[in-house]
Amino acid sequence: MFITRKHLSRRTILKGAGATIALPLLDAMIPAHTALAATAARPLPKLGFVYFPHGAVMAEWTPKSTGSDFELGKILEPAAKHKAALTIISGLRNRGGESNTPHAIIAGTWLGCVAPAVSHDPRAGTTIDQIAAQSIGSDTAFPSLELSTEGGTVCDPAYGCSYGNTIAFRSPTQPLPMEYNPRKLFYRLFGQGDTADERTAIVRETGSILDAITGDAKALERRLGGQDRAMLADYLDSVREIERRVKKMETQGLGGVQLPDAPVGIPTDFEEHLKVMFELIALAYQANLSRVATFMMAREVSMRTYNNLGISDAFHPLSHHQNNPDKVAKLVRVQNFHTKVFTTFLDRLAKTPDGDGSLLDHSMILFGSNMSNSDLHNNNPLPAAVFGKAYGRIKGGQHIAMPLDTPLANLHHTLLDRVGAPVEKFADSTGLIAGV
């Protein structure tokens, strides 16, 4: 059978007055069997790193059995539906993140595994996301995305402020800022303009990014088959929904009480903030705008309260539970909540078609923290879970228990290998983790 349809360029975009929209992978972008074979020969997975602060109650994180016959604890239980795509690796330690003032460096050393120099100038290690981005992200509009939900600073007299507000380092001396305003991120991905004022003017002029590209979208639809038209419609509906939510946040922000350092566009509801940021990552993956993303769900020393769970204790003080059963139980509920919201992201990836599978099938998402027992501020053993199968390069559905003190860098080394960006050594790695 030969394919005779006209080929649509993978770089095709929809254009309108002051707006452009990238497209997901459509069948029409695969011109012939030879091109399909070339595409399948070296598929490029989507890679994500999702960080939660203050560690995990490890007794409720680590399964009691290994291999494929394991039960999830209370913290990971919300992700049970994705167990077949889950790989838990226990026994890992990050010596590069250990110090006498852990909160100052704990976030910034999670993906680099290099102990920073005692200096106010950043001196750590290039993080795994940036190494991967150089290899698999160079042909995308955004080689990497760096996101968070909180601004502010986490500083230390010895280490300065370089490591508390980011988990991504482009080089040992270049920490990357993390965007926490979903409105800015949305227009960065889908709008035009170099400044916030320019982006605002464009939005006011066009009313809606999608409205601006309606004519081009309809013209493209006439060239597509039924399956591609349905996929395009689903994608544009997702963009429309995020646009609606972002505008709603703007309205709420202007009409409500403004918190310090909370620019217009940031929702007051933390769960909604998390969900919209996850949705924007999914859209960036779907449109192939980026293949690499890092996301801090909250920052270290966060004083956020979880009144939605009936917990009025601030997060950081609660993490110092001193083995008080009531406080430990509350902390587990907070950590379960983080997984629950993260699972909505996994659900989104799982239901989104991507070539011969779903985005989750073709992704590799590390979900974890650089702290173990938050009351002790220790880094051994760390909570680490990988979701997705990276085009079959990850087995999934298993718990791998490594010997205690196995370097976390071994996992990062392994993930780089699986994603198609192999390195000879990563930080203090001693080898790849077999069986992942």
Range ranked top by mean pLDDT from 79-83, 195-199, 278-282 = 79-83
**What pLDDT is stored for residue 247 in this prediction?**
65
Structure tokens at 303: 């004083």
> Distance between CA atoms of 307 and 204, rounded to whole angstroms?
36
95 CB-contact burial (10 Å; exposed 0-12 / middle 13-18 / buried 19+): middle
pLDDT at residue 12, as a whole number:
73
Q: Both tokens of residue 360? A: 């989750």
Please give, one letter per residue, the 3-state secondary structure of the chain.
CCCCCCCCCCCCEEEECCEEEECCCCHHHCCCHHHHHHHHHCCCCEEEEEECCCCCCHHHCCCCCCECCCCCCCCCHHHHHHHHHEEEEEEEECHHHCCCCHHHHCCCCCCCCCCCCCCCCCCCCCCHHHHHHHHHCCCCCCCCEEEECCCCCCCECCCECCCCCCCCEEECCEECCCECCHHHHHHHHHCCCCCHHHHHHHHHHHCCHHHHCHHHHHHHHCCCCHHHHHHHHHHHHHHHHHHHHHHHHHHHHHHCCCCCCCCCCCCCCHHHHHHHHHHHHHHHHHCCCCCEEEEECCCCCCCCEEHHHCEEEEHHHHHCCCCCHHHHHHHHHHHHHHHHHHHHHHHHHHCCEECCEECCCCEEEEEECCCCCCCCCCCCCCCEEEECCCCCCCCCCEEEEEEEEEEHHHHHHHHHHHHCCCCCCCCCCCCCCCCC
**Structural domain of 213:** 1-42+183-265
**Exposed/middle/buried for residue 134 (C-beta within 10 Å: 0-12, 13-18, 19+):** middle
Would you mind telling me the total number of residues written for the chain in this entry? Answer: 436
Mark whether 331 and 249 lie in a shared domain.
no
Domain end call among 246, 265, 284: 265
Considering the domain architecture, whether residues 67 and 192 belong to the same structural domain is answered as: no
Q: How high is the mean pLDDT of the chain? A: 85
Tell me the C-alpha distance between 48 and 294, whole Å. 6
Residue 278 maps to a domain: no
Counting the structural domains of the chain, the total is 2
Query: Is 235 found in the same domain as 371?
Result: no
Q: Has residue 272 been placed in a domain?
A: no
Q: pLDDT tens across 308-317, in order?
A: 999 999 999 9
- Residues 116, 120, 123, 129, Cα dihedral to 10°: 90
Strands 292-296 and 46-51: parallel
24/149 same-domain check: no
- Among 224, 244, 265, which residue terminates a domain? 265
Do 167 and 237 share a structural domain? no
118: domain CATH number is 3.40.720
pTM beyond 0.75, yes or no: yes
Question: How crowded is residue 6: how many other Cβ atoms within 10 Å of its Cβ?
Answer: 7
Q: Which residue, 219, 247, 265, sits at the end of a domain? A: 265
On whether residue 283 sits in a domain, the answer given is: no
- For residue 258, is pLDDT > 50? no
Same domain assignment for residues 306 and 409: yes
Tell me the average pLDDT across 186-201. 62
Task: Decide if 75 is inside a domain.
Answer: yes
User: Can you tell me the mean pLDDT for 340-345?
Assistant: 98
Rounded to whole angstroms, the Cα distance separating 288 from 10 reads: 9
Strand 19-22 and strand 357-358: pairing? unpaired
Question: Is residue 398 situated within a structural domain?
Answer: yes
Say whether both 213 and 312 belong to one domain: no
Question: Is 380 found in the same domain as 417?
Answer: yes
CA distances from 16 to 19, 161, 212, 337 (A): 5, 42, 5, 40
In a domain, 289, yes or no: no
From CA 117, how far away is CA 363, in angstroms rounded?
A: 34
Q: What is the pLDDT of residues 116-165, one digit of tens each?
A: 999 989 999 999 999 999 999 988 888 999 999 988 778 888 899 999 99
Q: What is the pLDDT at residue 264?
A: 41
What pLDDT shows up at residue 10?
63
Residues 330 and 394 in one domain: yes
* Residues 108 and 169 occupy one common structural domain: yes
According to the model, what pLDDT value does residue 289 have? 85
Q: What is the pLDDT of residue 37?
A: 42
Does residue 395 fall inside a structural domain?
A: yes
Residues 198, 142 share a domain: no
Is 287 part of a structural domain of the chain? no
- Going by DSSP bridges, is the β-strand pair 46-51/363-368 parallel, antiparallel, or unpaired? parallel
In tens, the pLDDT along 102-123 reads 788 999 999 999 999 999 899 9
**385/240: higher pLDDT:** 385
Question: CA end-to-end span of the chain, whole Å?
Answer: 37
Confirm if 346 and 360 have CB atoms less than 8 A apart.
yes
307 and 424 in a single domain? The answer is yes
**What is the CA 8 to chain-centroid distance, rounded?**
30
Report residue 85 CA to chain centroid gap: 16
Q: How far is CA 106 from the centre of its chain?
A: 18
Is residue 4 over pLDDT 70?
no
pLDDT at residue 243 tops 90: no
**For the segment 18-69, what is each residue's pLDDT rounded down to a tens digit?**
567 777 777 777 655 444 444 445 679 999 999 999 999 999 999 999 999 9
How many CB atoms sit inside 10 A of residue 326's CB? 9
pLDDT in tens, 400-429: 999 999 999 999 999 999 999 999 999 999
pLDDT tens digit sequence for 287-331 = 888 999 999 999 999 999 999 999 999 999 999 999 999 999 999
